[in-house]
Chains A and B, each alone.
Chain A
């Protein structure tokens, strides 16, 4: 187990190292591109050279990378390089936005699990019934539909036709700062954030319930279920004590894998509902060509992905002794 853990951590570090090279190289490879984005396409070569010198873009690439990494380890993501926000600290912009995305994702994730796990379980029990088929079809449509289409339909129904919920998150969401600020804000203005939460939840339900259904079905044909049945375990005990506990393992482990998807979806959801999180920050940075912000966001999400993968591997190693004992994956 310890050897496995170390090998896995080592792998993660190598991948993170590679990721840092990519996020570093993308802006740097195109020498002068940052300067031109800030100074304008018609900037004189002299102005570009002066800019590059001032911000270190004229140094050897390895030196630049060294500075980049040293800064990263100090929590410094550099400064905005757009004309509009030139010089603003990227780290503080991210720190302001990331918690909003985190809480929105987390709450939606919990809601999705609360709905999807019983749904998948029930579908598996009633497999191949009309109920199972219609849920499978509905879940398939929601799961494969682009998240922005789901948002458009929900806005149409709940905001435009029923007038129940506002189509945009109130501007006051901008004042929710700090780690727990956004969470308190959500409880203070539940209607304002309900639509985005519904969209994220709806998108993830499909992901979880499909897994849950398949997992329960896989479990129900295992030998130990037959043994339990032979020993006279009642239906309810069989289902919850023996089947459910084993079927839930894959769900725990895909929790770590859904993180990048949530961040990707945040691009759309936060833009549609004007929710000031990482997704909106990235999209706005793209509009003003602010590469350092985009690369920092990319890096953070990549790190989250690697950590998420690691945690899910760790989770399955803890929950499933077969993996732990053989040391193989």
Chain B
């Protein structure tokens, strides 16, 4: 709710999975710490604690996900849709090869040609084959979206966990910075930064990724804040487990479902950011394209009657965004992640 929006997130109730926690604690008891305490303690330093087979979180995530998708058929359908789109974009070009880079090859051709046997979805205003272009554009959307989201989630998790785990003045300063950045609408910042640095795939990944982690960090900070006070974290601490151990083996694994949920939304958001820029005509530059850039001149295309330049891309793009949002929602509900504004 709204009044939770501004502070550092003290109001978020961190998700706590008793199963994972106990498992990890027991694993610690069995594998390392208990040994250190009970045995002659030849080497009680934190750094050399044995760490065999105790990270239950990552393995659990997959099992948890399978459970979610088995129960939620619509979410499963969305996953299927995503798989189809990924195959279409990345395998499609091998089955249906078209020229998508060399503009000079089209000299003399009539552009914006209607669908025909040669071009099943017609051609665009630069004479590129639309079906092939949808595959290439989809590759850009998915690649940039995925990598930018991974960058954003990575930075956000590290930043948030440090702030939440350390607490105190450091936390206060770090979170004020997040407050500032969250007050500035992301798209405007991205506009400003791309104006300065220019626009290609690598830059877009960096810009969208490095400007997209503020929300994630706030969420993970809240997780770390509650998890570090839980009994299992205190127990590890009392047995001499260092901060690093608690963060790596307890806080992050216990937050993994939150991270997975956030990442799903982050991919959708990153794809949308890139597409938004493209739609405004300030995204990737020709001959590179993405699904947003392909819709850049859609109003004109509609009125010129070039439906094949608009609706196939629009529908596929809609399916992609909705799938990510629905899967994100399903994970959020299943994992009970308290996301703001979702």
Beyond A146-B276, A267-B187, A329-B3, whether A291 also contacts B196 by CB under 8 A is yes
CB-contact partner of A33 in B196, B280, B326, under 8 A: B196
Cβ-based interface call for A78 (8 A): no
Cβ-based interface call for B195 (8 A): yes
Cβ-based interface call for B158 (8 A): no
Asked if B299 contacts A155 (CB within 8 A), the reply is yes
**Which residues of chain B from 185 to 209 have a CB within 8 Å of any chain A CB?**
185-189, 191-196
Cβ distance A87 to chain B, nearest Cβ, rounded Å? 19
Q: In the complex, A151→B237 CA distance in Å?
A: 55
Q: In the complex, A156→B299 CA distance in Å?
A: 8
Which B residues lie within 8 Å of A268 (CB)? 276, 279-280
In this complex, which of B2, B292, B302 has the most chain A Cβ atoms within 10 angstroms of its Cβ?
B2
Which B residues lie within 8 Å of A289 (CB)? 195
Cβ distance A322 to chain B, nearest Cβ, rounded Å? 11
Q: In the complex, A222→B191 CA distance in Å?
A: 46
Asked if B298 contacts A145 (CB within 8 A), the reply is no
Cβ-based interface call for A108 (8 A): no
Asked if B302 contacts A286 (CB within 8 A), the reply is no
Which A residues lie within 8 Å of B317 (CB)? 146, 149
Beyond A155-B302, A313-B6, A329-B7, whether A149 also contacts B193 by CB under 8 A is no
Which A residues lie within 8 Å of B177 (CB)? 18
Asked if B275 contacts A146 (CB within 8 A), the reply is yes
Type the 1/0 row for A9-44, where 1 means its CB is closer than 8 Å to any CB of B. 001001110110111001100100100000000000
Interface size on A, residues (CB 8 A): 61
Main secondary structure of the interface of B (DSSP, over half): helix
Which B residues lie within 8 Å of A312 (CB)? 2-3, 5
Cβ-based interface call for B82 (8 A): no
**Which residues of chain B from 1 to 49 have a CB within 8 Å of any chain A CB?**
1-7, 11
Q: In the complex, A250→B189 CA distance in Å?
A: 29
Cβ-based interface call for A301 (8 A): yes
Binding site for B on A (CB under 8 A): 11, 14-16, 18-19, 21-23, 26-27, 30, 33, 140-141, 144-146, 148-149, 152-153, 155-156, 159-160, 167-168, 250, 253-254, 256-257, 260, 263-264, 267-268, 271-272, 282-283, 286-287, 289, 291, 294-295, 297-298, 301-302, 305-306, 309, 312-313, 316-317, 323, 329
A sample of 8 more A-B contacts (CB under 8 A), given A27-B196, A146-B275, A329-B4, is A16-B183, A21-B180, A141-B318, A146-B317, A256-B2, A287-B281, A302-B185, A306-B183
8 closest A-B pairs by beta carbon, nearest first, are: A18-B180, A144-B325, A253-B2, A298-B188, A302-B184, A316-B3, A312-B2, A302-B183
